[in-house]
Amino acid sequence: GSGTSGTADFPYAKVYIGNQQNQPSYQPTTTRNNSQPTSPATGGSSGEICSASGHSGESTKVTSNKVGSINGIGYELWADSGNNSATFYSDGSFSCTFQNAKDYLCRSGLSFDSTKTHSQIGHLYADFKLVKQGISNVDYSYVGIYGWTRSPLVEFYIVDNWLSQYRPGDWVGNKKHGDFTIDGAQYTVYENTRTGPSIDGNTQFKQYFSIRKTARDCGTIDITAHFQQWEKLGMTMGKMHEAKVLGEAGSNGSGTSGTADFPYAKVYTGSSSNNASSNNASSNNNNNNNSSNNNSSNSNCAARWAQCGGNGFNGAKCCKEGTCVQMNQWYSQCQ
């Protein structure tokens, strides 16, 4: 047609590891860059996530294809044609604006070094809120979680919403595994094998999809629960390269337009925020890393790669393994 337009805004979007908490806590396969920064974030309560209405902290606006980071949180903007931009904030939120784009994606979340499986990293979660603004001419779209693994090379999608008129259908994969209840909701699981651009160049790789039956605009995605369901179906996961909150839209015509705003978006590892208060090693908001903060015998300590400190952080400030390393004034991580 004449092209699609609009905005899909994610005022809340986060990915994380652990038992689900109420803590504050793409593209089709033409991958653009594999040198993405490592950046976990913290989680939030369901009320905080779904009531989020704005962005906070420092910001950076990107107007061309770019991979970068802000406040230790990795991001990427990629588009095929059009007049596009994305703004990423130090609190993890971001906003994606596209005009007459054939394919557009922006994403923000965690990057890894492809040396550990998801089970070695810990339990991954993502919090997000999506606000759609002026969306038009969208023929396909994925909103949710996106990432890659190596050994084997796998591109994966967990789709909780879409900017298109219709839910993504059977065309996404050449093998349909069926419908499954994952993290309390019904998802259709697909598997695909394709050859094309990837994080390791133009090669053959697997694609895995979980597509939610009913779209939702906000909430917490239990990423690890999807990984576990896929593995039960023989869909092997490799060593983690990334897991990010994704907003993607594409058009088969003259281009898609609009804004996808994420006033809340975080990806993280850890325990469920419903138990966050009982896991607090201290109510003090500090990043001090001393021996008392790194007691591996403490079952309430944070897992490796989880948050262990930062201004405003009220979770566990000790590590089950490794040490608590300060990344910035807002975020410290068990490494």
Residue-wise pLDDT for 50-70, tens only, equals 999 889 999 999 999 999 999
Could you please report the per-residue DSSP string of 305-332?
A: TSEEE-TT--S--SBSSS-EEEEETTEE
Lowest-confidence region among 87-96, 110-119, 293-302, 308-317: 293-302
Q: What is the spatial distance between Cα 199 and Cα 153, in angstroms, rounded to a whole number? A: 9
Catalytic positions, written as ranges: 155, 248
Residue 271: pLDDT band with limits 50, 70, 90: low
The yes-or-no verdict on residue 19 having pLDDT over 70 is: no
The yes-or-no verdict on residue 290 having pLDDT over 50 is: no
Of 69, 80, 11, 26, residue with least CA distance to 266:
11
Q: Which fold has domain 4-270?
A: Jelly Rolls (2.60.120)
pTM over 0.85: no
- Look up residue 71 and give its two tokens: 């406040």
> Residues near 247 by Cβ (< 8 Å), separated by ≥ 6?
8, 10, 96, 105, 106, 107, 130, 143, 163, 260, 262
Please give the pLDDT value at position 318: 86
Q: How far is CA 259 from CA 75, 94, 100, 117, 298, in A?
A: 17, 11, 12, 34, 45
Please give the pLDDT value at position 272: 45
Averaged over 145-154, what is the pLDDT? 97
Q: What is the spatial distance between Cα 72 and Cα 244, in angstroms, rounded to a whole number? A: 13
217-242 pLDDT tens trace: 999 999 999 999 999 999 999 999 99
Q: Where are the beta strands (DSSP E) in the chain?
A: 4-18, 59-62, 66-70, 73-80, 85-89, 94-101, 103-111, 124-137, 140-150, 154-161, 175-182, 185-196, 203-212, 218-222, 239-250, 256-270, 307-309, 324-328, 331-334
SS3 state of residue 29: coil
Q: What is the spatial distance between Cα 154 and Cα 173, in angstroms, rounded to a whole number? A: 13
198-211 pLDDT tens trace: 999 999 999 999 99
Q: Cα 239 vs. chain centroid, distance in angstroms?
A: 16
SS3 state of residue 334: strand
Please give the pLDDT value at position 187: 98
Please give the pLDDT value at position 190: 98
Span(s) in the chain for CATH 2.60.120.180: 4-270
